[in-house]
Structure 1
Amino acid sequence: MCGRFTLSVSPVTISQVLGIAKTVNFTPQYNIAPTQMLLAIVYNLDNNQREFKYLRWGLIPAWAKDRTIGTRLINARGETLTEKPSFRTAFQRRRCLVVADGFYEWQAGTKQPYYFHLSGQQPFAFAGLWEKWTSPTQEEVFSCTIVTTEANELLKPVHHRMPVIIPPEDYSLWLDPQITSLETLQSLLQPYPTSEMIAYPVSKLVNSPKHNSADCIAPLGTEN
Protein backbone atom coordinates (compact mmCIF):
# COMPACT_ATOMS: atom_id res chain seq x y z
CA MET A 1 0.00 0.00 0.00
CA CYS A 2 0.98 3.65 0.13
CA GLY A 3 0.00 5.53 3.27
CA ARG A 4 2.54 8.37 3.40
CA PHE A 5 4.71 10.16 0.87
CA THR A 6 6.74 13.31 0.27
CA LEU A 7 7.00 16.23 -2.13
CA SER A 8 9.80 18.60 -1.23
CA VAL A 9 11.48 19.60 -4.52
CA SER A 10 11.04 23.05 -6.02
CA PRO A 11 7.92 23.98 -8.02
CA VAL A 12 10.12 24.77 -11.03
CA THR A 13 11.62 21.27 -10.95
CA ILE A 14 8.17 19.74 -10.75
CA SER A 15 6.95 21.68 -13.78
CA GLN A 16 10.04 20.78 -15.80
CA VAL A 17 10.00 17.06 -14.98
CA LEU A 18 6.22 16.64 -15.24
CA GLY A 19 5.98 18.65 -18.44
CA ILE A 20 3.65 21.49 -17.44
CA ALA A 21 4.36 25.06 -18.51
CA LYS A 22 2.84 26.68 -15.42
CA THR A 23 4.36 26.38 -11.96
CA VAL A 24 2.39 25.87 -8.77
CA ASN A 25 2.96 27.29 -5.29
CA PHE A 26 3.23 24.84 -2.44
CA THR A 27 5.06 24.27 0.83
CA PRO A 28 7.52 21.34 0.93
CA GLN A 29 5.82 18.32 2.48
CA TYR A 30 7.77 15.50 4.14
CA ASN A 31 4.88 13.49 5.53
CA ILE A 32 1.75 13.71 3.38
CA ALA A 33 -1.02 11.66 5.00
CA PRO A 34 -4.55 10.50 4.09
CA THR A 35 -7.32 13.16 4.10
CA GLN A 36 -4.74 15.88 3.39
CA MET A 37 -4.64 17.79 0.12
CA LEU A 38 -2.09 16.56 -2.40
CA LEU A 39 -0.78 17.88 -5.70
CA ALA A 40 -2.00 16.04 -8.77
CA ILE A 41 -2.09 16.43 -12.53
CA VAL A 42 -5.31 15.97 -14.49
CA TYR A 43 -6.20 16.30 -18.15
CA ASN A 44 -8.44 19.24 -19.04
CA LEU A 45 -10.58 18.34 -22.05
CA ASP A 46 -11.64 21.98 -22.51
CA ASN A 47 -8.14 23.07 -23.52
CA ASN A 48 -6.55 19.66 -24.16
CA GLN A 49 -3.78 20.31 -21.66
CA ARG A 50 -2.39 18.84 -18.46
CA GLU A 51 -2.92 21.00 -15.42
CA PHE A 52 -2.19 20.94 -11.71
CA LYS A 53 -5.06 20.30 -9.32
CA TYR A 54 -5.19 19.85 -5.55
CA LEU A 55 -7.13 16.76 -4.50
CA ARG A 56 -8.15 15.35 -1.12
CA TRP A 57 -6.39 12.03 -0.47
CA GLY A 58 -9.04 9.36 -0.01
CA LEU A 59 -11.44 8.83 -2.89
CA ILE A 60 -15.10 9.69 -2.30
CA PRO A 61 -17.24 8.03 -4.98
CA ALA A 62 -19.92 10.22 -6.55
CA TRP A 63 -22.61 7.94 -5.11
CA ALA A 64 -21.32 8.06 -1.51
CA LYS A 65 -23.69 9.29 1.20
CA ASP A 66 -20.90 11.07 3.09
CA ARG A 67 -17.19 11.78 2.81
CA THR A 68 -16.06 9.38 5.54
CA ILE A 69 -15.76 6.55 3.02
CA GLY A 70 -12.68 8.32 1.68
CA THR A 71 -10.59 7.30 4.70
CA ARG A 72 -10.94 3.68 3.56
CA LEU A 73 -10.15 4.37 -0.10
CA ILE A 74 -6.68 5.89 -0.03
CA ASN A 75 -5.34 3.04 -2.19
CA ALA A 76 -6.80 1.00 -5.04
CA ARG A 77 -5.45 -2.41 -6.05
CA GLY A 78 -4.49 -2.23 -9.71
CA GLU A 79 -5.48 -5.84 -10.31
CA THR A 80 -9.16 -5.28 -9.38
CA LEU A 81 -9.92 -1.74 -10.60
CA THR A 82 -12.48 -3.00 -13.12
CA GLU A 83 -14.31 -5.04 -10.46
CA LYS A 84 -14.73 -2.49 -7.65
CA PRO A 85 -17.71 -0.10 -7.90
CA SER A 86 -15.72 2.55 -6.02
CA PHE A 87 -13.02 2.67 -8.71
CA ARG A 88 -14.46 1.24 -11.92
CA THR A 89 -15.79 4.44 -13.49
CA ALA A 90 -12.84 6.58 -12.39
CA PHE A 91 -10.45 4.05 -13.91
CA GLN A 92 -12.19 4.45 -17.25
CA ARG A 93 -12.68 8.22 -17.24
CA ARG A 94 -10.89 10.07 -14.42
CA ARG A 95 -7.26 9.10 -14.11
CA CYS A 96 -4.66 11.44 -12.63
CA LEU A 97 -0.98 11.63 -11.74
CA VAL A 98 -0.16 12.20 -8.06
CA VAL A 99 3.08 14.16 -7.78
CA ALA A 100 5.70 12.89 -5.30
CA ASP A 101 9.43 12.60 -4.79
CA GLY A 102 9.44 9.69 -2.32
CA PHE A 103 7.25 7.46 -0.18
CA TYR A 104 7.34 5.43 3.02
CA GLU A 105 6.59 1.81 3.85
CA TRP A 106 6.73 0.04 7.20
CA GLN A 107 8.43 -3.33 7.59
CA ALA A 108 6.09 -6.00 8.91
CA GLY A 109 6.93 -7.18 12.40
CA THR A 110 9.42 -4.47 13.35
CA LYS A 111 7.24 -1.60 12.06
CA GLN A 112 10.46 0.10 10.97
CA PRO A 113 9.72 2.83 8.39
CA TYR A 114 11.72 2.92 5.17
CA TYR A 115 11.95 5.75 2.67
CA PHE A 116 11.92 5.00 -1.07
CA HIS A 117 12.81 7.39 -3.88
CA LEU A 118 14.17 7.34 -7.42
CA SER A 119 17.92 7.07 -7.77
CA GLY A 120 18.12 10.50 -9.40
CA GLN A 121 16.03 12.04 -6.61
CA GLN A 122 13.75 13.65 -9.19
CA PRO A 123 10.00 14.02 -8.73
CA PHE A 124 7.76 11.34 -10.23
CA ALA A 125 4.09 10.48 -10.56
CA PHE A 126 1.93 7.82 -8.93
CA ALA A 127 -0.98 6.43 -10.90
CA GLY A 128 -4.13 7.93 -9.39
CA LEU A 129 -7.90 8.05 -9.88
CA TRP A 130 -10.05 11.04 -9.02
CA GLU A 131 -13.71 11.83 -8.40
CA LYS A 132 -15.98 14.81 -7.76
CA TRP A 133 -18.42 14.35 -4.87
CA THR A 134 -21.20 16.76 -3.99
CA SER A 135 -22.31 16.95 -0.37
CA PRO A 136 -25.96 17.34 0.74
CA THR A 137 -25.18 21.06 1.18
CA GLN A 138 -23.85 21.24 -2.42
CA GLU A 139 -20.19 21.46 -1.41
CA GLU A 140 -17.97 19.98 -4.12
CA VAL A 141 -15.06 17.83 -3.00
CA PHE A 142 -12.42 16.61 -5.46
CA SER A 143 -10.66 13.53 -4.12
CA CYS A 144 -8.34 10.78 -5.28
CA THR A 145 -6.78 7.41 -4.56
CA ILE A 146 -3.33 6.01 -5.36
CA VAL A 147 -3.15 2.79 -7.37
CA THR A 148 -0.95 -0.02 -6.05
CA THR A 149 0.60 -3.18 -7.47
CA GLU A 150 2.82 -6.00 -6.27
CA ALA A 151 6.17 -4.94 -4.82
CA ASN A 152 9.42 -4.99 -6.77
CA GLU A 153 12.50 -6.73 -5.37
CA LEU A 154 13.59 -3.63 -3.44
CA LEU A 155 10.30 -3.34 -1.59
CA LYS A 156 9.53 -7.02 -0.99
CA PRO A 157 11.63 -7.31 2.20
CA VAL A 158 9.61 -4.40 3.63
CA HIS A 159 6.12 -4.71 2.14
CA HIS A 160 4.35 -6.89 -0.44
CA ARG A 161 2.68 -3.92 -2.22
CA MET A 162 3.92 -0.67 -3.72
CA PRO A 163 2.37 2.37 -5.40
CA VAL A 164 2.33 2.31 -9.19
CA ILE A 165 4.82 4.83 -10.59
CA ILE A 166 3.99 5.90 -14.14
CA PRO A 167 7.08 6.54 -16.31
CA PRO A 168 7.15 9.91 -18.13
CA GLU A 169 6.70 8.34 -21.55
CA ASP A 170 3.30 7.01 -20.43
CA TYR A 171 1.90 10.18 -18.79
CA SER A 172 -0.19 11.09 -21.82
CA LEU A 173 -1.55 7.57 -22.15
CA TRP A 174 -2.59 7.37 -18.50
CA LEU A 175 -4.15 10.83 -18.37
CA ASP A 176 -6.10 10.82 -21.64
CA PRO A 177 -9.78 10.13 -20.79
CA GLN A 178 -10.44 9.19 -24.40
CA ILE A 179 -8.29 6.09 -23.97
CA THR A 180 -10.63 3.44 -22.59
CA SER A 181 -8.90 0.18 -23.50
CA LEU A 182 -8.73 -1.64 -20.18
CA GLU A 183 -6.01 -3.93 -21.49
CA THR A 184 -3.85 -0.95 -22.46
CA LEU A 185 -4.39 0.79 -19.13
CA GLN A 186 -3.80 -2.34 -17.06
CA SER A 187 -0.48 -2.85 -18.84
CA LEU A 188 0.81 0.34 -17.17
CA LEU A 189 0.18 -0.95 -13.65
CA GLN A 190 3.53 -2.66 -13.17
CA PRO A 191 6.14 -2.59 -10.37
CA TYR A 192 8.72 0.13 -11.01
CA PRO A 193 12.21 -1.18 -11.89
CA THR A 194 14.24 -1.99 -8.79
CA SER A 195 17.44 -0.74 -10.41
CA GLU A 196 16.04 2.80 -10.59
CA MET A 197 15.13 3.13 -6.90
CA ILE A 198 16.87 3.61 -3.55
CA ALA A 199 15.65 2.74 -0.05
CA TYR A 200 16.87 3.26 3.51
CA PRO A 201 15.44 3.16 7.06
CA VAL A 202 14.29 6.41 8.64
CA SER A 203 13.22 7.62 12.05
CA LYS A 204 9.83 6.67 13.49
CA LEU A 205 9.09 10.38 13.60
CA VAL A 206 7.24 9.77 10.36
CA ASN A 207 4.72 7.58 12.21
CA SER A 208 2.88 10.74 13.26
CA PRO A 209 1.53 13.12 10.58
CA LYS A 210 2.27 16.05 12.90
CA HIS A 211 5.96 15.60 12.09
CA ASN A 212 6.59 17.32 8.76
CA SER A 213 10.25 18.22 8.42
CA ALA A 214 13.35 17.03 6.58
CA ASP A 215 14.16 14.88 9.62
CA CYS A 216 11.48 12.48 8.35
CA ILE A 217 13.57 11.53 5.31
CA ALA A 218 17.00 11.61 6.98
CA PRO A 219 18.70 8.19 7.11
CA LEU A 220 18.17 6.58 10.50
CA GLY A 221 20.59 8.00 13.05
CA THR A 222 21.41 11.17 11.10
CA GLU A 223 18.31 13.23 11.83
CA ASN A 224 18.71 16.43 13.87
Structure 2
Amino acid sequence: MCYSVSYLTHKNEIYARRLGIPTDKETSFFAQLDQIRNYIGVAWYRSGFEFPGLPVLTFFPELKVIPGFWGLIPHWAKSKDKQKDLIKHTLNARIETLLEKPSFKKATEKNRCIVMLDGFFEYKHIEKKAHPYYITYLDKRPMLIGGIYEIAPDNIPFSITLSIVTKPGNALMTEIHNKSQAGEPRMPLILEGDYLQKWTSSPAQEAIQECKNLEINNLTAIPVGSLTGKNGIGNKPQAHINIHLNPTSQ
Protein backbone atom coordinates (compact mmCIF):
# COMPACT_ATOMS: atom_id res chain seq x y z
CA MET A 1 0.00 0.00 0.00
CA CYS A 2 0.90 3.66 -0.08
CA TYR A 3 2.63 3.51 -3.43
CA SER A 4 0.90 6.72 -4.55
CA VAL A 5 0.90 10.04 -2.69
CA SER A 6 0.08 13.73 -2.97
CA TYR A 7 1.79 16.89 -1.75
CA LEU A 8 0.80 20.48 -2.58
CA THR A 9 1.68 24.08 -1.72
CA HIS A 10 0.50 27.08 0.33
CA LYS A 11 0.33 25.27 3.68
CA ASN A 12 3.44 26.72 5.27
CA GLU A 13 1.72 28.25 8.29
CA ILE A 14 -0.20 25.07 9.07
CA TYR A 15 3.03 23.05 9.01
CA ALA A 16 4.72 25.65 11.23
CA ARG A 17 1.96 25.46 13.84
CA ARG A 18 1.88 21.66 13.88
CA LEU A 19 5.65 21.46 14.23
CA GLY A 20 5.91 24.21 16.84
CA ILE A 21 8.26 26.37 14.76
CA PRO A 22 9.21 29.51 16.80
CA THR A 23 8.06 32.79 15.30
CA ASP A 24 11.63 33.98 14.74
CA LYS A 25 12.38 30.79 12.76
CA GLU A 26 9.31 30.88 10.52
CA THR A 27 10.84 32.92 7.71
CA SER A 28 13.71 30.47 7.29
CA PHE A 29 11.34 27.49 7.53
CA PHE A 30 8.97 28.92 4.90
CA ALA A 31 11.89 29.63 2.58
CA GLN A 32 13.05 26.02 2.87
CA LEU A 33 9.57 24.71 2.09
CA ASP A 34 9.20 26.95 -0.95
CA GLN A 35 12.64 26.04 -2.23
CA ILE A 36 11.96 22.31 -1.97
CA ARG A 37 8.59 22.58 -3.68
CA ASN A 38 10.09 24.59 -6.51
CA TYR A 39 12.77 21.93 -6.89
CA ILE A 40 10.59 18.82 -6.91
CA GLY A 41 7.43 20.40 -8.31
CA VAL A 42 3.79 20.24 -7.19
CA ALA A 43 2.29 16.78 -6.94
CA TRP A 44 -1.42 16.11 -7.03
CA TYR A 45 -0.66 12.47 -7.74
CA ARG A 46 2.70 10.69 -7.72
CA SER A 47 3.36 6.98 -8.08
CA GLY A 48 6.15 5.55 -5.98
CA PHE A 49 7.29 3.52 -8.96
CA GLU A 50 8.27 6.79 -10.64
CA PHE A 51 10.67 7.21 -7.69
CA PRO A 52 9.79 10.89 -7.22
CA GLY A 53 11.23 13.42 -4.82
CA LEU A 54 9.25 14.00 -1.61
CA PRO A 55 9.50 16.84 0.94
CA VAL A 56 11.13 15.51 4.12
CA LEU A 57 11.83 16.89 7.60
CA THR A 58 15.04 15.84 9.32
CA PHE A 59 15.90 16.94 12.85
CA PHE A 60 19.60 16.40 13.43
CA PRO A 61 21.52 18.50 14.18
CA GLU A 62 18.60 20.88 13.55
CA LEU A 63 15.28 20.88 11.75
CA LYS A 64 15.67 21.04 7.98
CA VAL A 65 13.37 20.57 5.01
CA ILE A 66 15.08 18.60 2.26
CA PRO A 67 14.05 16.65 -0.85
CA GLY A 68 14.20 12.88 -0.47
CA PHE A 69 14.33 10.22 -3.19
CA TRP A 70 11.43 7.80 -2.60
CA GLY A 71 13.05 4.35 -2.52
CA LEU A 72 15.57 3.72 0.25
CA ILE A 73 19.06 2.58 -0.78
CA PRO A 74 20.86 0.90 2.15
CA HIS A 75 24.44 1.94 2.83
CA TRP A 76 25.69 -1.52 1.86
CA ALA A 77 24.17 -1.47 -1.65
CA LYS A 78 27.18 -0.26 -3.64
CA SER A 79 26.49 -1.28 -7.26
CA LYS A 80 23.97 0.60 -9.42
CA ASP A 81 22.34 -2.70 -10.43
CA LYS A 82 21.78 -3.64 -6.78
CA GLN A 83 20.44 -0.19 -5.98
CA LYS A 84 18.05 -0.27 -8.93
CA ASP A 85 16.71 -3.63 -7.82
CA LEU A 86 16.31 -2.63 -4.17
CA ILE A 87 14.36 0.60 -4.58
CA LYS A 88 11.39 -1.28 -6.01
CA HIS A 89 11.09 -3.05 -2.65
CA THR A 90 11.91 -0.22 -0.23
CA LEU A 91 9.22 2.34 -1.03
CA ASN A 92 7.46 1.21 2.15
CA ALA A 93 8.79 -0.32 5.36
CA ARG A 94 6.59 -2.28 7.77
CA ILE A 95 6.92 -0.90 11.30
CA GLU A 96 6.71 -4.40 12.79
CA THR A 97 9.95 -5.55 11.09
CA LEU A 98 12.00 -2.35 10.85
CA LEU A 99 14.73 -3.65 13.13
CA GLU A 100 14.78 -7.09 11.52
CA LYS A 101 15.26 -6.20 7.86
CA PRO A 102 18.87 -5.53 6.75
CA SER A 103 17.66 -2.80 4.39
CA PHE A 104 15.98 -0.85 7.20
CA LYS A 105 17.78 -1.62 10.47
CA LYS A 106 20.50 1.05 10.40
CA ALA A 107 18.15 3.74 9.08
CA THR A 108 15.63 2.94 11.82
CA GLU A 109 18.26 3.17 14.53
CA LYS A 110 19.92 6.36 13.26
CA ASN A 111 17.82 8.15 10.64
CA ARG A 112 14.12 8.60 11.30
CA CYS A 113 12.34 11.48 9.58
CA ILE A 114 8.95 12.98 8.74
CA VAL A 115 7.52 12.94 5.21
CA MET A 116 5.24 15.90 4.43
CA LEU A 117 2.15 14.86 2.45
CA ASP A 118 -1.41 16.02 1.89
CA GLY A 119 -2.67 12.50 1.49
CA PHE A 120 -2.25 9.17 -0.25
CA PHE A 121 -4.15 6.97 -2.68
CA GLU A 122 -5.50 3.48 -2.17
CA TYR A 123 -7.70 1.08 -4.12
CA LYS A 124 -10.86 -0.72 -3.09
CA HIS A 125 -11.52 -3.92 -5.02
CA ILE A 126 -15.11 -4.79 -5.86
CA GLU A 127 -15.97 -7.62 -8.26
CA LYS A 128 -12.48 -7.70 -9.80
CA LYS A 129 -12.42 -3.94 -10.41
CA ALA A 130 -10.15 -1.52 -8.54
CA HIS A 131 -11.65 1.81 -7.49
CA PRO A 132 -9.13 4.53 -6.50
CA TYR A 133 -9.64 6.63 -3.37
CA TYR A 134 -7.79 9.68 -2.12
CA ILE A 135 -7.20 9.41 1.65
CA THR A 136 -6.76 12.65 3.57
CA TYR A 137 -7.78 14.36 6.82
CA LEU A 138 -11.43 15.37 7.14
CA ASP A 139 -10.33 19.00 7.53
CA LYS A 140 -7.80 18.65 4.65
CA ARG A 141 -4.83 19.61 6.82
CA PRO A 142 -1.46 18.18 5.73
CA MET A 143 -0.19 14.85 7.00
CA LEU A 144 3.09 14.19 8.79
CA ILE A 145 4.22 10.64 8.05
CA GLY A 146 6.93 8.61 9.76
CA GLY A 147 9.83 7.69 7.51
CA ILE A 148 13.40 6.39 7.57
CA TYR A 149 16.29 7.47 5.37
CA GLU A 150 19.86 6.85 4.26
CA ILE A 151 22.38 9.26 2.80
CA ALA A 152 22.06 8.95 -0.97
CA PRO A 153 24.89 7.59 -3.14
CA ASP A 154 26.52 9.99 -5.60
CA ASN A 155 24.47 8.78 -8.57
CA ILE A 156 21.15 9.83 -6.95
CA PRO A 157 20.13 13.50 -7.51
CA PHE A 158 18.93 13.93 -3.89
CA SER A 159 20.77 14.12 -0.58
CA ILE A 160 18.82 11.23 0.99
CA THR A 161 16.81 8.16 -0.03
CA LEU A 162 13.80 7.16 2.04
CA SER A 163 11.04 4.68 2.87
CA ILE A 164 7.57 5.53 4.14
CA VAL A 165 6.80 3.51 7.28
CA THR A 166 3.49 1.61 7.33
CA LYS A 167 1.38 0.04 10.05
CA PRO A 168 -1.82 -2.07 10.22
CA GLY A 169 -4.80 -0.19 8.81
CA ASN A 170 -7.52 1.42 10.89
CA ALA A 171 -11.25 0.82 10.38
CA LEU A 172 -11.39 3.07 7.30
CA MET A 173 -8.41 1.37 5.66
CA THR A 174 -9.82 -2.05 6.49
CA GLU A 175 -12.82 -1.10 4.34
CA ILE A 176 -10.80 0.49 1.52
CA HIS A 177 -7.60 -1.56 1.37
CA ASN A 178 -9.47 -4.84 1.05
CA LYS A 179 -7.04 -6.62 -1.28
CA SER A 180 -3.63 -6.02 0.22
CA GLN A 181 -0.55 -7.82 -1.06
CA ALA A 182 0.59 -7.84 2.55
CA GLY A 183 -2.38 -10.01 3.48
CA GLU A 184 -3.91 -7.32 5.68
CA PRO A 185 -4.97 -3.68 5.25
CA ARG A 186 -2.08 -1.23 5.72
CA MET A 187 -1.69 2.53 6.06
CA PRO A 188 1.15 5.04 6.47
CA LEU A 189 2.42 5.83 9.97
CA ILE A 190 0.56 9.13 10.41
CA LEU A 191 1.91 11.06 13.40
CA GLU A 192 0.39 13.82 15.51
CA GLY A 193 1.28 15.85 18.59
CA ASP A 194 3.95 14.41 20.89
CA TYR A 195 4.35 11.38 18.63
CA LEU A 196 6.33 13.49 16.16
CA GLN A 197 9.09 13.93 18.72
CA LYS A 198 8.78 10.34 19.91
CA TRP A 199 9.32 9.06 16.39
CA THR A 200 12.31 11.25 15.63
CA SER A 201 14.03 11.40 19.04
CA SER A 202 13.28 8.29 21.12
CA PRO A 203 15.46 5.15 20.95
CA ALA A 204 14.40 3.01 17.99
CA GLN A 205 12.57 0.23 19.85
CA GLU A 206 10.79 2.73 22.09
CA ALA A 207 9.77 4.88 19.12
CA ILE A 208 8.32 1.85 17.34
CA GLN A 209 6.41 0.59 20.38
CA GLU A 210 4.90 3.99 21.15
CA CYS A 211 4.04 5.09 17.63
CA LYS A 212 2.71 1.89 16.10
CA ASN A 213 -0.38 1.98 18.33
CA LEU A 214 -1.32 5.61 17.61
CA GLU A 215 -4.88 5.60 16.28
CA ILE A 216 -5.71 8.10 13.55
CA ASN A 217 -9.44 8.05 12.81
CA ASN A 218 -10.23 11.58 11.56
CA LEU A 219 -9.62 10.60 7.93
CA THR A 220 -11.84 10.48 4.88
CA ALA A 221 -11.71 8.43 1.67
CA ILE A 222 -12.65 10.37 -1.47
CA PRO A 223 -13.54 8.33 -4.58
CA VAL A 224 -11.66 9.69 -7.59
CA GLY A 225 -11.41 8.87 -11.27
CA SER A 226 -8.89 6.54 -12.86
CA LEU A 227 -5.39 7.77 -12.06
CA THR A 228 -3.32 5.84 -14.58
CA GLY A 229 -3.62 4.37 -18.05
CA LYS A 230 -4.64 5.89 -21.36
CA ASN A 231 -7.47 7.92 -19.84
CA GLY A 232 -5.92 8.36 -16.41
CA ILE A 233 -5.96 11.70 -14.60
CA GLY A 234 -2.26 11.70 -13.78
CA ASN A 235 -0.66 14.60 -11.90
CA LYS A 236 -3.56 17.05 -12.10
CA PRO A 237 -5.91 18.69 -9.55
CA GLN A 238 -8.71 16.36 -10.68
CA ALA A 239 -6.90 13.57 -8.79
CA HIS A 240 -8.48 15.02 -5.63
CA ILE A 241 -12.01 15.58 -6.94
CA ASN A 242 -14.81 13.38 -5.61
CA ILE A 243 -16.57 11.78 -8.58
CA HIS A 244 -19.50 10.71 -6.37
CA LEU A 245 -18.87 7.11 -7.32
CA ASN A 246 -20.62 4.44 -5.32
CA PRO A 247 -18.65 1.26 -6.18
CA THR A 248 -21.21 -0.99 -4.49
CA SER A 249 -23.76 0.08 -7.06
CA GLN A 250 -21.61 -0.91 -10.03
TM-score normalised by the shorter chain: which range applies? 0.7 to 0.9
Aligned residues with identical type, % of pairs? 26
Shift of 1:180: 1.7
Alignment of 1:132-151 (within 5 A): 132-135=151-154, 141-151=159-169
Aligned to 2:68: 55
1:104 matched residue in structure 2: 121
Aligned-partner SS, 1:107 = strand
Residues 131-172 of structure 1: CA distance to partner in whole angstroms, max 9, x if unpaired? 01324x798751000011111001112211111101132212
Moved more, 144-153 or 105-114: 105-114
2:199 equivalent to 1:174: yes
Structure 1 Cα separation of the partners of residues 234 and 56 of structure 2: 22
In 2, Cα distance between the equivalents of 1:73 and 1:115?
A: 22
Q: Tell me whether 110-119 or 62-71 shows the greater mean CA deviation.
A: 62-71
Correspondence 1:8 to 2:8? yes
By percentage of residues, which structure has more helix? 2
Cα RMSD of the aligned pairs, angstroms, is 2.4
CA distance in 2, matches of 1:199, 1:81: 28
Equivalent-residue separation in structure 2 for 1:180 and 1:145 (angstroms): 19
| Cα contact 2:199–2:207 (8 A) shared by 1 | no
- In 2 relative to 1, CA 187–139 (structure 1 residues): closer, same or farther, beyond 3 Å? same
Q: How many residues align?
A: 215
CA distance, structure 2, for counterparts of residue 169 and residue 147 of structure 1: 18
1:164 and 2:189 aligned: yes
Asked whether the equivalents of residues 107 and 113 of structure 1 are also in contact (C-alpha less than 8 Å), the reply is: yes
SS of residue matched to 2:190: coil
Q: Which has the larger radius of gyration?
A: 2
What's the counterpart of residue 60 of structure 2? 44
Report the CA distance shift for 1:116/1:139 in structure 2 as closer, same or farther (over 3 A). closer
Q: The residue matched to 2:187 in structure 1 has which SS?
A: strand
Q: How many angstroms apart in 2 are the aligned matches of 1:63 and 1:87?
A: 11
CA contact (8 A) 2:4 2:121 kept: yes
Do the aligned partners of residues 164 and 115 (structure 1) sit closer, same or farther apart at CA in structure 2, a change above 3 Å counting?
A: same
Deviations 1:158-207 (A, max 9, x none): 2111111011322122122xx3250343320236422x111121111256
Q: Please say if residues 92 and 163 of structure 2, whose CA atoms lie closer than 8 Å, have aligned partners that are also in contact.
A: yes
Report how far residue 221 of structure 1 moved.
Answer: 5.2
Cα distance in structure 1, aligned partners of 2:156 and 2:137: 41
| 3-state SS in 2 of match to 1:157 | helix
Q: Which residue of 1 aligns with 2:173?
A: 155
Residues 77 and 138 (structure 1), Cα distance of their counterparts in 2 relative to 1, 3 Å cut: closer
Matched residue, 2:248: none
Which aligned pairs between 1:1-224 and structure 2 lie closer than 5 A? 1-13=1-13, 14-20=15-21, 21=26, 22-23=29-30, 24-25=33-34, 26=37, 27-34=41-48, 35-45=51-61, 49-64=62-77, 65-66=79-80, 67-68=83-84, 69-108=86-125, 109-135=128-154, 141-159=159-177, 160-176=185-201, 179-190=202-213, 192-194=215-217, 196-205=218-227, 211-220=234-243
In 2, Cα distance between equivalents of 1:126 and 1:104: 14
Structure 2 runs not aligned, ≥5 long: 178-184, 246-250
Moved over 6 A (4+): 137-140, 207-210
- TM-score (normalised: structure 1): 0.86
Contact 2:7 2:119 in 1 (8 A): yes
